[in-house]
Structure 1
Amino acid sequence: MTSDDQPGAAPAAPPRFGANYTPSQGWFHHWLDFDLDAVRRDLDAIAALGLDHVRVFPIWPYFQPNRTLIRPRAVEQLVALADAAAERGLDVNVDGLQGHLSSFDFLPAWTQTWHRRNLFTDPEVVSGQREYLRTLAAALADRPNFIGMTIGNEINQFAAGPHPDPDRITEAEAEAWLRQVLDACEEGAPGRLHLHAEYDAAWYQDDQPFTPAHAARLGAVTAVHSWVFNGTAQRHGRDGVATGQHAAYLIELSKAWALDPHRPVWLQEVGAPAPLIPAADAAAFTETTVAAALDCAGLWGVTWWCSHDVSRSLADFPELEYSLGLLTNDGEVKPGGAALARLAKEARAVAPAPRTTALVVDIGPDGGRRSACGPGGPVFEAFARLAGDGVRPAVVLAERVADAGHLAERGITEVVHPSDVL
């Protein structure tokens, strides 16, 4: 589904719990030396936590090294991984355009240097992307455990700074690209949960061409990626209210732009980054973050980043990337993993009470002042202040405050402005 007109279905209940699968052997380079037995061991460990799905990451240049070559063997290996997951009771979401992972960019040679073309607007590049996404989706379309496609991992980072060499586009061009690639996924696997996912610049960065409206209106669900190293933990500390509420804030912020008040939201990435969240505090951070997210209506699920730590034998990762796993590189359950396992086991199909107080976001009809929503901005800080005072705030756009029907459908009975709070 790609329409921004179609009402979303009520989310499955209880919320889904899963992990972003980072292979313990070779990280995502495992596709170059694919070992299905090693994958099975990893999936056994994930399933033992009581999780119900994984998000997996084909590496785009490994799968499509030439614009007109999608390697059949690589596609077969992806299907084998999905089948192994099914044997362990795990559903699978597939990210297509990798894209960007853990500070590394993976782009095919046919988009770079001598063949440099805009990733979002060049007709031949977009045609190649569409064929690739359609091929992956079609290969999995008959698998009952296939959730659907995510277009790519935080691909908006290629469209603006601080990327060192961005492919700059307009908001209109971003929307046109999203519609084309989402349609390709639907052509390959009709009726599955196809979506796109951006990092939080879409919500917080004024000049980011991928906008909150794109995130909240295109695709089958809204995806949010919550990382407190974005200034939140630096400003509020490891145990600050804003730090523990950051994921919930993004979920509620996303609802302000949704046309369907019941559109599901997927907390698709969230993790405990050291040293901002020390290892000794990872379990508490996990519990606080997930509990706050579960207090948001319409939560499709929580997918933790990530399943396994990155091996110290691999070089040049940012330090925090090595220790984000629910499991060690050897498959031992870490305290954060035990906490998520417990939360998954205890999750119930209980709809949260409506959030009757809504914080007003007034950043212009084009969202040009999104920085007001980021850490240190008045919207962000007002939400944190309200949450610290025991209020469960929703968020509403200024232009919808006078829409009584919209407020009633969301259960909102009171609106407050950041200036009323700070």
Structure 2
Amino acid sequence: MERNFGMLATNGSPANWLGANFWSRTGGPLMWRNYDGAVIREELDVLARHGLNLTRSFYYWPDFQPEPHTLNEEACAHFADFLDAHHSAGMTTVPTFIVGHMSGENWDPRWRAGRNLYTDVWFVNRQAWYIKSLVERFAGHPAVAGWLITNEVPIYGGEATRAEVAAWSELMVNAVRAGGGRQPVSIGDGAWGIETTGHDNGFSIRDLAPFTDFVGPHVYRMESDVLRQHLKAAFIAEMSAVTGQPVVMEEFGLSSDFVSAENAGHYYRQLLHNTLLAGATGWIAWNNTDYDAILDQRPYNHHPFELHFGITDADGAPKPALLELKAFADTLKAIDLPRLRRAQVSAALVLTSYLAADYPFTEEAERELVVTTAEQSYVAAHEAHLPVGVVREAEDGGLPEGYGLYLLPSIKALTGPSWVQLPRLASAGATVYASYCVGETQAQRGPWWIYTEEIFGVERQLVYGLNNPIDDDVVELTFTEDFGTLAKGDVLRFKAAGNEHSRAFLPVQATDGTVVAVDGRGNPALIVKQHGAGRTVLCTYPLEYLAAAQGRINPEDTYRLYEALASLAGIRGPVQLDDPLIFADSLIHEDGREFVVLLSQHSGPTAVGLASAALRTLGGDAIESADLGPYGVAVLQR
């Protein structure tokens, strides 16, 4: 099945945005008061020489609209010169209007006087006038690539109802169009809404889609596991593609105060390549430079680590992040990104509709659990060299059809129609895997599963109101039958974790299902039931949840189970690998070439044998082994 790979277009041509969020080192957010065109040109020249083609720029709101009916003419003149500097450097920019929030502080125009950003009619009108007026001035400049309404507005304007947010957002986008802006536009909210987090802040990707042109995740989340950290932005990109719109990694990065120089480079390398494979087609790093010269200026004096998110230092010298962006730019050129598509897949990682539907009388904690367990499943699939499509259950029930393997990891609930659909999917030839999870809350603590015997061939042995705690520190699954790549007698081991609700298993007795693995106490742990040409597979332990609840855990043995499931389903990855710390996926060029991307999760150098893969370097030389550096990448072709 196809995986989304949306590409922005400007003037009918594909647009590959690779750049940096930009404040000049002359003043950060106050750069328009301290404008120096010569320094701007130096800063842009460094970025352009390292392969970047774009910046995201900011109309600092207190400066550009000092009064409700007035634009600051001096600031506008500076911005006109700023656009000319971009054009001279062969670059473009995406201006951002309502700023608003920035780097640890909120900045109001002095005349706001506490008005609600979204619902005060007069204030909304003044915002629309401000946006329309700026667009009228600058929309015709060749250096303008697109528009963003805000910067992380849920932090600045606060949360609101979805109806209020959608109405306000549409009015702001209409102001861009009324001003003559025909370039791509989006909101700039960070894609932090219910579809990607389980928390409803009002900014729904699906609600905003009818009048926006792309989705722009802002990703700074920190992790407790290296592999989850390296794949986190990629998984967010997958979830952000819920509407099929292009995904632009609008903000990502790190302060060099948080990390060693070497590890900063590793992080950038992993994020860039993993998000490319996850379907992103634009990247705008945070941010262009360090700000040591303005240490005493807000917000840097009270958030001093914000001084050092730059991809260049305060003197304009490249940092490891910019070197990684340069290497990535060279790769994108070599593989011809605008003419690529993601390789088709036969495996689907299912996001239950309970993540985004906000059904009545369900708890936010249960929605958030969908994200954490699915993310861990995404990691395990990568360790198993199993490219997956991240798919969503429909709100009125039903899963997309046509996949050979369905992964339903540690799920508490599906809709009724989807449960009924599972045996039909299996009968059509699919392998349908589901692992049990009771959830982390006491609300209706039990499996929201129906027709368990008909689907999985087991009878539940539950006592009402009680869960069945996992008492062992390590769960052992011993295989009593051959199962794909796992042989009778093989043992998988999983460290137990979770709270008093979630650290639980499902006691069952097999009816017409076949027990293929038992736990350390002899209880059925993995049960297979044949349905026509396919099968269902029930795991009575929440394997993905157990790993998600722990730090520094990957790789753990769930990937071996996924390898076995893929074998049963007849699914092979782009290359055959034995090492779970080498990820592999591929992209297909319209001329038929396949680009295979290998990403190492080893902290030291690693050689990857490829003798049987018929791969070549991008230069065309045959290759039988790829030597990858620490957390290194190789892009090969077939």
Instruction: Tell me how large the CA RMSD over aligned residues is.
Output: 2.5
- In 1, Cα distance between equivalents of 2:17 and 2:28: 25
SS of 1:377 mapped into structure 2? helix
1:73-92 map, 5 Å:
73-92=74-93
Q: CA deviation at 1:344?
A: 0.6
Q: CA deviation at 1:304?
A: 0.8
Q: Specify the code of the residue in structure 2 equivalent to 1:197.
A: G
Q: Specify the code of the residue in structure 1 equivalent to 2:229.
A: T
The aligned counterpart of 2:322 is: 337
Q: Specify the code of the residue in structure 2 equivalent to 1:331.
A: G
Q: CA deviation at 1:383?
A: 2.2
The aligned counterpart of 1:361 is: 351
The aligned counterpart of 2:201 is: 208
Q: Which runs of 5+ in 2 are unaligned?
A: 1-5, 411-433, 435-542, 545-638
For normalisation by structure 1, the TM-score amounts to 0.85
- In 2, Cα distance between equivalents of 1:356 and 1:200: 28
The aligned counterpart of 2:277 is: 295
Higher strand share: 2
For normalisation by structure 2, the TM-score amounts to 0.57
Give the conservation status (yes or no) of the 8 Å contact 1:216–1:254.
no
The aligned counterpart of 1:150 is: 148
Q: Specify the code of the residue in structure 1 equivalent to 2:235.
A: Y
SS of 1:147 mapped into structure 2? coil
Q: 1:252 aligns with which of 234, 238, 242?
A: 238
Q: CA deviation at 1:403?
A: 5.9
- Name whichever of 355-364 and 120-129 sits farther off: 355-364
Which structure is larger by alpha-carbon Rg, 1 or 2? Answer: 2
Q: CA deviation at 1:337?
A: 0.9
1:115-264 map, 5 Å:
115-159=113-157, 166=158, 168-199=159-190, 201-202=192-193, 203-204=196-197, 206-214=199-207, 216-229=209-222, 233=223, 235-236=224-225, 240-255=226-241, 257-258=242-243, 261=244, 263-264=245-246
Compared with structure 1, are the counterparts of its residues 354 and 10 closer, same or farther at alpha carbon in structure 2 (3 Å cutoff)? Answer: farther
- In 1, Cα distance between equivalents of 2:255 and 2:63: 28
- The reply on whether 1:109 has 2:127 as its aligned counterpart is no
Give the conservation status (yes or no) of the 8 Å contact 1:24–1:309.
yes
The aligned counterpart of 2:380 is: 385
Compared with structure 1, are the counterparts of its residues 16 and 116 closer, same or farther at alpha carbon in structure 2 (3 Å cutoff)? Answer: closer
- In 1, Cα distance between equivalents of 2:178 and 2:315: 39
Compared with structure 1, are the counterparts of its residues 216 and 129 closer, same or farther at alpha carbon in structure 2 (3 Å cutoff)? Answer: same
Q: CA deviation at 1:205?
A: 5.2
Q: CA deviation at 1:351?
A: 2.5
- In 1, Cα distance between equivalents of 2:323 and 2:275: 18
SS of 1:291 mapped into structure 2? helix
Q: CA deviation at 1:191?
A: 2.0
- In 1, Cα distance between equivalents of 2:174 and 2:122: 17
Q: Specify the code of the residue in structure 1 equivalent to 2:204.
A: T
Q: Which runs of 5+ in 1 are unaligned?
A: 1-7, 160-165
- In 2, Cα distance between equivalents of 1:192 and 1:89: 18
Q: CA deviation at 1:10?
A: 6.1
- In 2, Cα distance between equivalents of 1:274 and 1:334: 9
- In 2, Cα distance between equivalents of 1:307 and 1:358: 38
Q: Specify the code of the residue in structure 2 equivalent to 1:109.
A: R
Compared with structure 1, are the counterparts of its residues 156 and 413 closer, same or farther at alpha carbon in structure 2 (3 Å cutoff)? Answer: farther
* CA offset digits 1:248-300 (Å, max 9, x no partner): 11111012x30xx3x21111111034455432201111111101111133x33
Q: CA deviation at 1:78?
A: 1.1
- In 2, Cα distance between equivalents of 1:145 and 1:127: 28
- In 1, Cα distance between equivalents of 2:181 and 2:198: 33
- In 1, Cα distance between equivalents of 2:210 and 2:259: 33
The aligned counterpart of 1:326 is: 311
Q: CA deviation at 1:370?
A: 6.3
- In 1, Cα distance between equivalents of 2:167 and 2:368: 25
The aligned counterpart of 1:278 is: 260
* CA offset digits 1:4-43 (Å, max 9, x no partner): xxxx776565833111112111212111122211211111
Q: Specify the code of the residue in structure 2 equivalent to 1:118.
A: N
Give the conservation status (yes or no) of the 8 Å contact 1:147–1:192.
yes
Q: Specify the code of the residue in structure 2 equivalent to 1:58.
A: Y
SS of 2:18 mapped into structure 1? strand
- The reply on whether 1:402 has 2:431 as its aligned counterpart is no
Q: CA deviation at 1:394?
A: 2.8
Compared with structure 1, are the counterparts of its residues 170 and 65 closer, same or farther at alpha carbon in structure 2 (3 Å cutoff)? Answer: same
SS of 2:78 mapped into structure 1? helix
Q: CA deviation at 1:55?
A: 0.5
Q: 2:292 aligns with which of 285, 297, 311?
A: 311
Compared with structure 1, are the counterparts of its residues 185 and 328 closer, same or farther at alpha carbon in structure 2 (3 Å cutoff)? Answer: same
Q: Specify the code of the residue in structure 2 equivalent to 1:387.
A: H
1:26-65 map, 5 Å:
26-65=27-66
SS of 2:199 mapped into structure 1? coil
- Name whichever of 368-377 and 35-44 sits farther off: 368-377
Q: Which of structures 1 and 2 has the larger relative contact order (alpha carbons within 8 angstroms, sep 6+)?
A: 1
SS of 2:289 mapped into structure 1? coil
Higher helix share: 1
SS of 2:115 mapped into structure 1? coil
Q: CA deviation at 1:215?
A: 5.2
The aligned counterpart of 1:4 is: none
Q: Specify the code of the residue in structure 1 equivalent to 2:254.
A: A
- Name whichever of 138-147 and 345-354 sits farther off: 345-354
SS of 1:146 mapped into structure 2? coil
- Name whichever of 178-187 and 390-399 sits farther off: 390-399
Percentage of pairs with the same residue: 22
Compared with structure 1, are the counterparts of its residues 370 and 359 closer, same or farther at alpha carbon in structure 2 (3 Å cutoff)? Answer: farther
The aligned counterpart of 1:163 is: none
Q: CA deviation at 1:380?
A: 2.6
The aligned counterpart of 1:266 is: 248
* CA offset digits 1:119-178 (Å, max 9, x no partner): 11101111111111112222111112211210011112235xxxxxx4x52111011011
